[in-house]
Structure 1
Amino acid sequence: MSNKIELEYELKTRSGSAVWALISTPIGLKKWLADDVTIEEDSATFIWGDPLREHDTHTATIVDMVKNNYIRFHWDSSESDSFWEIKMFHSEIAGNYHLLVTDFVEDDDVEGLEQFWNKKIDRLHRITGM
């Protein structure tokens, strides 16, 4: 059984264009999500690890994207209809942008997936200062 998880993270920025670049471009995604990212049309390739040595490569299809709002991917290796999505939104209270990550995981790995996203967002904070 697959579980939908939603994780919200506050960023220390008021720049929507900077946030959008981090979640929708290869250069932005490469800064925090994967070691290498390429996007050609609606196909994205994510590489974790050293591309010349031991690494893990996954491809995904960009299912939907609304500029300055969200980007939704589907792992090509997945047989289910599940997706993962990164959505940005502006908090009127604090004035900063937030990311809402939606992902799906099997019952026995909810904690592992939450740790994965927490680790990646920590990296985003360290590298960008956001």
Structure 2
Amino acid sequence: MSRKIELEYELKTRSGSAVWTLISTPVGLKKWLADDVFFEENVATFVWGDPLREHETHTAIVMEMVKNSHIRLYWDDSDDDSYWEIRMFHSEIAGNYHLGITDFAEDGEAEDLVRIWNQNIDRLHRITGV
């Protein structure tokens, strides 16, 4: 059974267009989420590792993409209806943008999934300064 995980991360930027690029384009996602990303119509391909050596490739169907709001994807090898989503929103108090992550973990894997998202966001902060 899958358990829904919802996470929120504050970014150090007031630029909505920069955040949207980071979560909705291959160039942006490649900076922090995977080693390589390709989009072909509504299919996103994610590659981790060296494509010429040891690597892992997964494809996801883009279920929904609403500009300056969110992108929702479904792993095409998933056996259930779980999806993962990256949502951006603006904090009126701090003036910065935040990312909201929704993902699903199997029983006993929630901590690992949270750790992976934390590592991805740390990479985002380090590489982009956002």
Which TM-score tier does this pair reach, normalised by the shorter chain? over 0.9
Secondary structure of the 1:113 match is helix
Give the TM-score normalised by structure 2: 0.99
**Unpaired runs of 5+ in structure 2?**
none
Aligned twin of 1:21: 21
Paired letter, 1:74: Y
Task: Give the equivalent residue in structure 1 for 2:127.
Answer: 127
RMSD, aligned α-carbons? 0.4
Partner residue in 1 for 2:45: 45
| TM-score normalised to structure 1 length | 0.99
Match of 2:102 in 1: 102
Q: 1:72 Cα deviation (Å)?
A: 0.2
String of CA shifts for 1:37-73, please: whole Å, max 9, x gaps.
0001100000000000000100000001110000000
Matches within 5 A, 1:9-88: 9-88=9-88
Q: Secondary structure at the match of 2:85?
A: strand
Cα shift readout 1:69-113 (whole Å, capped 9, x = no counterpart): 000000000021110000000000000000000000101100000
Specify the SS of the correspondent of 1:60: strand
Distance in 2 between the 1:129 and 1:61 partners? 29
Percentage of pairs with the same residue = 73
In the alignment, structure 1 segments of 5+ residues that lack a partner are none
Instruction: Tell me the SS of whatever aligns to 2:93.
Output: coil
